[in-house]
């Protein structure tokens, strides 16, 4: 049996809105992450990906369900136990510049997780900071005494990665780590993450809206729409034979170097993302789905395994005889 590192079980997360209203950003999301793998989590902006990341890190307390990391339910831990557990679970944020304290030097930013956890002497912390900064291809003698505003976006993300790795975590949650970077820097950061995964034996939850990026870095991919998972499969199989119409539409939207390419009308994504405050009944994707039928508005589709390791929530999955 694979060594399961993280179990997210029926996770729900809500935000309070003015006038007593409530937004359910994540509803009954479940998945596992095995030790040593990279799980990609993809979907349009606003579908709840970052809320899943924040809930896993306990930055946002889940409204329901559980997050079990290394056999322990994070929501059940007291403050001291949670702080100790989070030394093995770190996060890389979407905006590399705003995630770094502008008033502090790089030396202090990278060392901060050790300071919070009370790890090591000042000399030991300095040694580990230099090793971490060198590991992300930065020169410690040139960067440690400078502040974030003196660096480019790509350099700031390297600093953020060094901070995430300083405690040698078991799992790193990467929340859109390259979305704010240009193409060439994006490739450098992705290569760096792959190198760090091999060097430190990391397990990654990689969140992105870009399926082309996720395809290159993930072992399995989970697709999310309006707060719910709609498909999960091994990466190669998902891109080869998507079973959910939403997944097929996202894959069809990936740019290719072929001016003569013509889209299948049944894979085109039309319409706007519905409001998560008042999601559609039944299947949440039905208002944009070219295969929608009356059943889709009446019943929520079940999460089922259509082939080994390939799960989908759809009444009429692609490639079926239904």
Q: What is the pLDDT of residue 1?
A: 46
The answer as to whether 196 is a domain residue is yes
145 and 261, same domain (yes or no): no
**Average pLDDT over every residue of 130-134:** 93
50 and 170, same domain (yes or no): yes
Can you tell me the distance from the alpha carbon of 121 to that of 114, in angstroms, rounded to the nearest whole number? 10
205 and 159, same domain (yes or no): yes
130 and 15, same domain (yes or no): yes
Q: What is the pLDDT of residue 259?
A: 64
Query: Measured between alpha carbons, how far is residue 171 from residues 120, 123, 204, 276, 301 in Å?
Result: 21, 26, 6, 29, 31
Question: What total number of domains does the chain contain?
Answer: 2
Per-residue buried b or exposed e for 45-84, using 16+ beta carbons within 10 Å of the residue's own CB? eebbbbbbbbbbbbebebbebebbbbeeebeebeeeeeee
The answer as to whether 72 is a domain residue is yes
Percent of the chain with pLDDT over 70: 93
167 and 288, same domain (yes or no): no
- Are 84 and 55 in contact by the 8 Å Cβ rule? The answer is no
The answer as to whether 124 is a domain residue is yes
Query: Each residue of 224-263: pLDDT tens digit?
Result: 999 999 999 999 999 999 999 999 988 887 777 666 655 5
Q: What is the pLDDT of residue 117?
A: 86
Q: What is the pLDDT of residue 189?
A: 86
267 and 170, same domain (yes or no): no
Query: Each residue of 154-193: pLDDT tens digit?
Result: 899 999 999 999 999 999 999 988 876 777 788 888 888 8
166 and 25, same domain (yes or no): yes
Q: What is the pLDDT of residue 311?
A: 96
The answer as to whether 233 is a domain residue is no
Can you tell me the distance from the alpha carbon of 90 to that of 174, in angstroms, rounded to the nearest whole number? 9
Q: Which of 218, 251, 270 is the last residue of a domain?
A: 218
The answer as to whether 57 is a domain residue is yes
60 and 196, same domain (yes or no): yes
**Average pLDDT over every residue of 36-60:** 93
Q: What is the CATH number of the domain that holds 190?
A: 3.40.50.300
Query: Each residue of 263-321: pLDDT tens digit?
Result: 555 566 777 778 888 889 999 999 988 888 999 999 999 999 999 999 999 999 987 65
The answer as to whether 238 is a domain residue is no
The answer as to whether 228 is a domain residue is no
Can you tell me the distance from the alpha carbon of 215 to that of 109, in angstroms, rounded to the nearest whole number? 32
- Are 98 and 160 in contact by the 8 Å Cβ rule? The answer is no
- Positive or negative, the Cα torsion across 153, 155, 156, 158? positive
46 and 182, same domain (yes or no): yes
161 and 274, same domain (yes or no): no
Q: What is the residue-averaged pLDDT of the chain?
A: 89
25 and 103, same domain (yes or no): yes
The answer as to whether 224 is a domain residue is no
Can you tell me the distance from the alpha carbon of 305 to that of 317, in angstroms, rounded to the nearest whole number? 11
Question: Within 10 Å of residue 243's Cβ, how many Cβ atoms?
Answer: 23
Full domain range(s) for residue 290 = 243-322
60 and 178, same domain (yes or no): yes
Q: List the single range of 35-44, 100-109, 136-145, 261-270 with lowest mean pLDDT.
A: 261-270
Q: What is the pLDDT of residue 216?
A: 84
């Amino acid at each position: 049996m694979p060594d399961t590192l993280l179990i997210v079980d029926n996770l729900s997360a809500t935000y309070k809105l003015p006038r007593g209203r409530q937004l359910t950003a994540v509803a009954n999301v479940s998945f596992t992450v095995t030790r040593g793998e990279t799980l990609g989590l993809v979907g349009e902006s606003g579908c709840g990906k970052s809320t899943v990341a924040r809930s896993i890190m306990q930055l946002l307390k889940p409204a329901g369900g559980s997050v079990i990391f290394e056999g322990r339910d994070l929501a059940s831990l007291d403050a001291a136990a949670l702080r100790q557990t989070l030394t093995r679970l770190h996060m890389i944020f979407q905006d590399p510049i705003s995630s770094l304290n502008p008033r502090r030097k790089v030396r202090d930013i990278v060392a901060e997780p050790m300071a919070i956890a009370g790890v090591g002497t000042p000399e030991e912390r300095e040694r580990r900071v230099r090793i971490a900064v060198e590991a992300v291809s930065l020169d410690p003698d040139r960067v440690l005494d400078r502040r974030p505003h003196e660096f480019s976006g790509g350099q700031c993300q390297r600093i953020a990665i060094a901070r995430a790795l300083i405690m040698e975590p078991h799992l790193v949650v990467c929340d859109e780590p390259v979305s704010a970077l240009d193409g060439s820097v994006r490739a450098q950061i992705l290569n760096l993450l792959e190198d760090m995964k091999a060097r430190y034996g990391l397990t990654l939850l990689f969140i992105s809206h870009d399926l082309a990026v996720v395809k290159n870095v993930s072992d399995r991919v989970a697709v999310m729409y309006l707060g719910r998972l709609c498909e999960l499969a091994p990466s190669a199989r998902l891109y080869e034979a998507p079973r959910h119409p939403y997944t097929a539409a996202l894959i069809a939207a990936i740019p290719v170097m072929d001016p003569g390419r013509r889209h299948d009308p049944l894979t085109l994504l039309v319409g706007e993302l519905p409001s998560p405050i008042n999601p559609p009944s039944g299947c949440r994707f039905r208002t944009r789905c070219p295969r929608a039928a009356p059943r889709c508005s009446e019943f929520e589709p079940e999460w089922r395994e259509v082939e080994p390791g390939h799960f989908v929530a759809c009444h009429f999955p692609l490639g079926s005889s239904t």
